[in-house]
Amino acid sequence: MPNHVRPAKAPALVTLLLEGRAIYELQALVWAQPWLQRTPRGDGHAVLVLPGFGAGDLSTLPLRQFLQSRGYNAHPWGLGINTGPILEFEHRAMVRLNELYDATGRKVSLIGWSLGGVYAREMGRVAPDRVRQVITLGSPLHNNPKANNAWRLYQVVSGQRLEEIGQEVIQQRRARLAIPLTSIYSRTDGVVAWECSLEPDGPLSENVEVISSHVGLGVNPTVLYVIADRLAQREDAWRPFAYSGWCSLLYRAGPAAPAPSRRG
């Protein structure tokens, strides 16, 4: 990490305790269906949805059902509970991506929630010829890997210490992607420090701020709206999210993370 970047800290306990509001975000999803069904319809391309740490495909079911309703070929990752270790699950998710690409003959969009977004970003980096775009939800992409309230549990469950991830791997992951990436994050995230979700500025990257819990990111109506807007773009005509009109009341363009250091 560059010396001038101040390491982020894990969210405060009071913010973590507020994660219970996710139940209300799920309820809001029901009431917001008429609004969400007015989002642009997709072109039928495959979307692979990756769950967060400690979660499986059941957690992404509402999101995938919404994507199906908008005309996308939404797929679960089919790898059970996401327990890590990171490198092992990234490899297994790549196999899943290759299966979808080979079956459809089209690039696949990736949506990764929390740790699933770490996998999705790396998959987009190593296989830009097979990935259409990457969307991450509250994912710890950069900064301090321990700036979250789940790292100790991760080490116990996965059997992998974060220090075991080599510097070479970390440096590779700091490289900008050659495909579009949208990082959706919340400053009221009680699990992952929001600063860790910021992607460095670039022609194909953006940070979109929403008001959401971490647990509710996959069901929050305002998050689903952004996802639908991003996926509906033509493959060769990506543009940043527009904050004009009423969108300026619900969303903010997030700041860019400090540019990656060439020396690390």
pLDDT given at position 169: 65
AA letter at 38: R
Percent of residues, the chain, with pLDDT higher than 90: 80
Q: How far apart are CA 108 and CA 192, in angstroms?
A: 26
pLDDT tens-digit series, residues 14-67? 999 999 999 999 999 999 999 999 999 999 999 999 999 999 999 999 999 999
pLDDT tens-digit series, residues 186-231? 999 999 999 999 999 899 999 999 999 999 999 999 999 999 999 9
The verdict on residue 73 lying in a domain is: yes
Full domain range(s) for residue 122: 13-253
**How many independent structural domains does the chain possess?**
1
Tokens of 161: 């210490």
The verdict on residue 243 lying in a domain is: yes
pLDDT tens-digit series, residues 107-137? 999 999 999 999 999 999 999 999 999 999 9
What are the angstrom distances between the C-alpha of 192 and each of 113, 115, 157, 210? 11, 10, 18, 14
Number of helical H runs and strand E runs in the chain:
10, 7
The verdict on residue 89 lying in a domain is: yes
8 A C-beta contact, residue 53 and residue 215: no
The verdict on residue 260 lying in a domain is: no
Sign of CA dihedral 173, 176, 180, 183: positive
The verdict on residue 4 lying in a domain is: no
Which CATH number covers residue 234? 3.40.50.1820
Entry pTM? 0.94
The verdict on residue 261 lying in a domain is: no
Q: How far apart are CA 109 and CA 133, in angstroms?
A: 5
**113 vs 85, residue with greater confidence:** 113
The verdict on residue 8 lying in a domain is: no
The verdict on residue 46 lying in a domain is: yes
**262 vs 85, residue with greater confidence:** 85
Any long-range contacts for 87-96 (C-beta under 8 Å, 24+ apart)?
Answer: 87/165, 87/169, 89/119, 90/118, 90/119, 90/122, 90/123, 93/48, 93/50, 93/119, 93/120, 93/123, 94/123, 94/126, 94/127, 96/48
Q: How far apart are CA 109 and CA 161, in angstroms?
A: 30
Give the CA radius of gyration of the chain: 17
